[in-house]
Amino acid sequence: MIGYPNHKKRCNSSAQLSQNHIGRGMSLEDDLNSSNAYYLEIDRALIHKKPTPIQVVKVDYPKRSSAKIIEAYYKVPSTTDYNGIYRQRAIDFEAKETRSKTSFPFKSIHEHQIRHLERVLLHGGIGFFILRFTSHNETYLIDAAIMIEMYRQIETKSISYEMVKKHGVFIREGITPRLHYLDCVDELYFKDKTSSKKENQTIKNFSG
Amino acid sequence: MIGYPNHKKRCNSSAQLSQNHIGRGMSLEDDLNSSNAYYLEIDRALIHKKPTPIQVVKVDYPKRSSAKIIEAYYKVPSTTDYNGIYRQRAIDFEAKETRSKTSFPFKSIHEHQIRHLERVLLHGGIGFFILRFTSHNETYLIDAAIMIEMYRQIETKSISYEMVKKHGVFIREGITPRLHYLDCVDELYFKDKTSSKKENQTIKNFSG
């Protein structure tokens, strides 16, 4: 696994990357999906992107066996995009990109996503945001509680790039996984624990 | 909250139910969605049905603001339908109905859903199935490990109604929630704990 803490190196390595990962885009969603697939494969975590909610209106059945949807609409998601399990904890997060160099605008976060993350914290899950500043080519993981607090402040319409740098954790990039974001989760939420390996065994009727 | 342990009473109460829950169907999915909405409202749990995965092929933009999907197809789900957080634990389950009086056929469970639930257990989550025998008008919660073991047995193509009754927990029905299935989760996975109320507080950087 090769990391690129210096973000400029990331672009230089793209040719090499595309050889290894044919057809993979460079969007945050693609990076997270491939990282999650890798984490799944090595049994480090079980994290999936939820399907986009779609309201199906009309379905055509050209054959008995196959259904073709011919009228449908995108629905506003009522939760975050990603969730799963890591080190016996429920994980839930939203990932967003911005082209702005100076701040991340809150208008791209839905009110019910904030409500959802408040509930994640209430029920004992780990909640965070993954924010990418495409102009800086940098991605950060920031705790949901900090984001919620900022979001809930009246007249605050964004979180500044400096604030994200200060309160968030820089996500190292690599080839596999594309984003080493679980290392940031370890750092933020499991600092007092040494290794996750011992925990990765079948746990039945675990009551912790 | 009124429970109907005798399933025959359930049918008798449907007129009363439909008065309170206008437009609600009686499918297992509807019952679970309304139960989850209730559990969400009273802050008991955070459990959602995942959207059905759909492969969008063609989108039309009649107006700039609205997108109309005009060609799409249902995809085979790679995970289970329901997941969330309850009493600080990651919850993951699949819900299925059968008309058979004698057994629940495994053909309606996808291999990758079994794989997914194996991973849920591996990473320390609580995994189970909710099975409804519509002909008996009874719904059971059964631990994923038992189902997986049965499923993995060569030449076993179903789990008998008697086995489900023996190893599963009968889910009491009511008005709100429609299915008291979290009581069964308490019974199966939290028997040694007394109350969930104390746990329902904001937990930040919890490392349990």
For A36-54, what is each residue's pLDDT tens digit? 999 999 999 999 999 999 9
The shortest CB-CB distance from A51 to any of B54, B124, B193 is to: B54
Q: Closest Cα to residue A162, out of A144, A150, A174?
A: A150
**ipTM reported for the complex, 2 dp:** 0.80
Q: Do A46 and B120 count as a contact with CB atoms less than 8 A apart? A: yes
State percent of chain B over pLDDT 90.
72
A113 neighbors A80 (Cβ within 8 angstroms): yes
- Pick from B16-25, B50-59, B92-101: least confident: B16-25
The shortest CB-CB distance from A123 to any of B48, B85, B143 is to: B85
**Residue B112: CA count within 13 A, CB half-sphere:** 7
Give per-residue pLDDT as tens, A65-78. Answer: 789 999 999 998 88
Nearest CA in chain B to A119: B46
The shortest CB-CB distance from B72 to any of A69, A124, A206 is to: A69
The domains located in chain A, with CATH, are 14-51+78-195 (3.40.1350.10)
Give the pLDDT band (50/70/90) at residue A194: low
Any alpha helices (H) in chain A, and if so which ranges?
7-12, 14-20, 28-41, 111-122, 144-152, 161-167, 181-189
Nearest CA in chain B to A185: B205
The neighbour count for residue B32, using CB atoms within 10 Å, is 23
Using a CB-CB cut-off of 8 Å, the residues of chain A touching B51 are: 50-54, 75
Q: How far apart are CA A11 and CA A137, in angstroms?
A: 9
> If you average pLDDT over residues A178-186, what whole number do you get?
98
B79 neighbors A82 (Cβ within 8 angstroms): no
Residue B5, pLDDT score: 38
> If you average pLDDT over residues A134-159, what whole number do you get?
94
> If you average pLDDT over residues B181-192, what whole number do you get?
95
Give per-residue pLDDT as tens, A90-131. Answer: 999 999 999 999 999 999 999 999 999 999 999 999 999 999
> If you average pLDDT over residues A180-196, what whole number do you get?
86
Comparing B195 with B77, which gets the higher pLDDT?
B77
Mutation test of the interface with chain A: which of B39, B42, B85, B142, choosing the one with the most A Cβ atoms within 10 A? Answer: B85
- Tokens 């740098």 -> residue: A165
Average pLDDT of chain B, as a whole number: 84
Nearest CA in chain B to A48: B79
Q: Does B84 touch chain A (CB under 8 A)?
A: yes
Give the pLDDT band (50/70/90) at residue A21: very low
pTM to 2 decimal places: 0.81
The distance of B10 to chain A (nearest Cα, Å) reads 31
Q: Does A146 touch chain B (CB under 8 A)?
A: no
> Could you say which DSSP state residue A111 is in?
H
> If you average pLDDT over residues B115-143, what whole number do you get?
97
Q: Is the pLDDT of residue A197 over 50?
A: no
Q: Is the pLDDT of residue A63 over 80?
A: no
Residue A77, pLDDT score: 84
Which amino acid is residue A163, in one-letter code?
A: M
Residue B11, pLDDT score: 32
State percent of chain A over pLDDT 90.
72
Nearest CA in chain B to A144: B204
Q: Is the pLDDT of residue B122 over 90?
A: yes
B95 neighbors B81 (Cβ within 8 angstroms): yes
Q: Closest Cα to residue B114, out of B83, B81, B80?
A: B80
Give the pLDDT band (50/70/90) at residue A174: very high
Q: Does B87 touch chain A (CB under 8 A)?
A: yes
Q: Closest Cα to residue B170, out of B131, B196, B126, B127?
A: B131
Any alpha helices (H) in A111-201, and if so which ranges?
111-122, 144-152, 161-167, 181-189
Give per-residue pLDDT as tens, B65-90. Answer: 789 999 999 998 889 999 999 999 99
Size of interface A-B (CB pairs under 8 A): 154
The neighbour count for residue B183, using CB atoms within 10 Å, is 15
Which amino acid is residue B91, in one-letter code?
A: I
β-partners of residue A92 are: A83, A127
> If you average pLDDT over residues A7-32, what whole number do you get?
52
